[in-house]
Amino acid sequence: MKLGFGLYRHMLNSEHYRFARQCGATHVVVHLVDYFNQGDQQGENSQPIGGLDGWGYAGATPDEAWSLDRLLALKAEINAHGLELEAIENFDPSHWHDILLDGPKKEEQIAHVKEIIRNVGAAGIPIFGYNFSIAGVCGRCVRHDARGEAETVGMDGLCEETTAPIHNGMVWNMVYDRNAPAGALPEITHDELWQRLEFFLNELVPVAEAAGVRLAAHPDDPPLTTMRQQPRLVYQPDMYQRLLDISPSPSNGLEFCLGTLAEMTDGDIYDACDRYTRQGNVAYIHFRNVSGKVPHYHETFIDQGDIDMSKIMAILKKNHFEGVMIPDHTPQMSCAAPWHAGMAYAMGYMKSCMNTPSS
C-alpha cells in the first residue's frame, strides 16, 4: 500500500510537490482539468462546489497538456521532486461531452480519448481515473458540520441544485458550449446511460490494455438515483460490479471512493471494500470519511465519520492491496492555511494507519 496525494491543476508546482512529500506521500494523482475556470467558486484550494451553472467553463486546459511530450515533462518534474506520478484523474468535458450525451461528435471524441490514453501509457503513467456522469459532482453545499464547526461540504436534503434541469451546453457540472441554444438536456433512462457507458468501455478498454493503463471509475458523488433530472450510474455498491462485468479486464478498474460509497443507502462499506479489493478491481483509493447517507450527509475529518478507517485498513492489508490511497477531500481547518492543515491532518492519520500492524 502506498500513500499518495491529489493535486489540482493549479497546484502542479514545486511548492505543492514539496508539501506532498512533507506529508509523507510517495505518489501523486494529478488533475489536468481546470475546474475553476471563470466559475463562481469560493476559493481554489477548496474542492469545487459551484452552483446551477456548475464549476466553470470546460476546455481551459490547452490540448497540448495531454500530449505525450507534456505528460513526459510533467512526470519528469514530479519524479525530480522524489514522487511518482500514479494517475491522472478525469477527462475534460470538452473531450467527451458527446460520449456522455450520445451526441454527433461521439466518434470523433472517442478517437481523441483513445489518443489521450495511448499518451498516458506511453508516458508511463499507470492509471487514468474518470467519472462517467452527466450531472457530475454537484448538488452539494458548504456546511460547518465537521468537528469544531469546520467548513465542509454535504447535502441537507434535496434542493434546487439537485433537482433543476441541466441547461444545454453543460455536462459533468461544467459548461462546454456557452453558445448552446436555450433549453435543457433531454431526460433519459438509466438503461440508456448504461448503454453509453458500454460504448465507452468497449471502445476504450482494449486501447487501455494495449497502452498498459488501468481505467479507474469513480462512483457518483453524491450517489443519488437521479441528479438534476439525469440518471446516475454507480449509486449503490453493487452497481460497481455491473460496470466491471461490461468489460472484465485489469484495465477496467475502480477509483474506489470510500466517502462516496459510505454515502450510499444500500450495502455495507466493509463488504464492498473486501469484495472489490479481493477481486483485484481497485486501482486506487479515495480514503476519506463522511457522516450520514444521501440526501443527508456531510464530509468529516478522517477519524470522525461513520467509517471505521482502521477496519478498512485491516481489510486492505488482508487482501494485500498494493495501490495508492489519497485523502481526496477533507474539511477546512480554521487557520491561515485551511486546506493545507486539513490535508496534512488526514495524511498523518493515514500514514500512521498504514504503519500500524492490524490486530
Nearer to Mn ion, 106 or 140 (CB): 140
**Residue 257 interacts with Mn ion (CB under 5 A): yes or no:** yes
Candidates 89-97, 286-294, 301-309, 313-321: pick the segment binding Mn ion (CB under 5 A): 286-294
C-alpha span between 7 and 33 (Å, rounded): 11
Q: Where are the alpha helices (DSSP H) in 23-105?
A: 68-80, 93-100
Nearer to Mn ion, 95 or 286 (CB): 286
CB of residue 165 vs Mn ion: minimum separation in angstroms?
25
Nearer to Mn ion, 34 or 328 (CB): 328
**Residue 232 interacts with Mn ion (CB under 5 A): yes or no:** no
Strands 252-257 and 324-326: unpaired
Other C-beta atoms lying within 10 Å of the C-beta of residue 344: 18
Q: Which of 122, 97, 130 is nearest to 112 (CA)?
A: 97
Nearer to Mn ion, 121 or 154 (CB): 154
C-alpha span between 26 and 288 (Å, rounded): 18
CB of residue 288 vs Mn ion: minimum separation in angstroms?
7
Question: What residues between 320 and 339 interact with Mn ion by CB under 5 A?
Answer: 328
Q: Which of 143, 214, 286, 298 binds Mn ion (CB under 5 A)?
A: 286
CB of residue 131 vs Mn ion: minimum separation in angstroms?
9
User: Contacts by 119-123 with C-beta closer than 8 Å and gap 24+?
Assistant: 119/66, 119/67, 119/68, 119/71, 120/71, 120/88, 120/211, 120/213, 121/208, 121/210, 121/211, 121/212, 121/213, 122/68, 122/71, 122/211, 123/68, 123/71, 123/72, 123/74, 123/75
CB of residue 3 vs Mn ion: minimum separation in angstroms?
16
CB of residue 286 vs Mn ion: minimum separation in angstroms?
4
Nearer to Mn ion, 209 or 328 (CB): 328
Site string (34-73) toward Mn ion, x via CB under 5 A: ----------------------------------------
Nearer to Mn ion, 92 or 221 (CB): 221
CB of residue 329 vs Mn ion: minimum separation in angstroms?
7
Q: Which of 104, 99, 108 is nearest to 193 (CA)?
A: 99
Helix 106-122 to helix 68-80 angle (10° resolution) is: 40
Nearer to Mn ion, 207 or 290 (CB): 290
**Residue 269 interacts with Mn ion (CB under 5 A): yes or no:** no
Candidates 44-52, 67-75, 94-102, 249-257: pick the segment binding Mn ion (CB under 5 A): 249-257
Using DSSP's 3-state secondary structure scheme, residue 303 falls into: coil
Helix 190-211 to helix 239-246 angle (10° resolution) is: 50
Binding site for Mn ion (CB under 5 A): 257, 286, 328
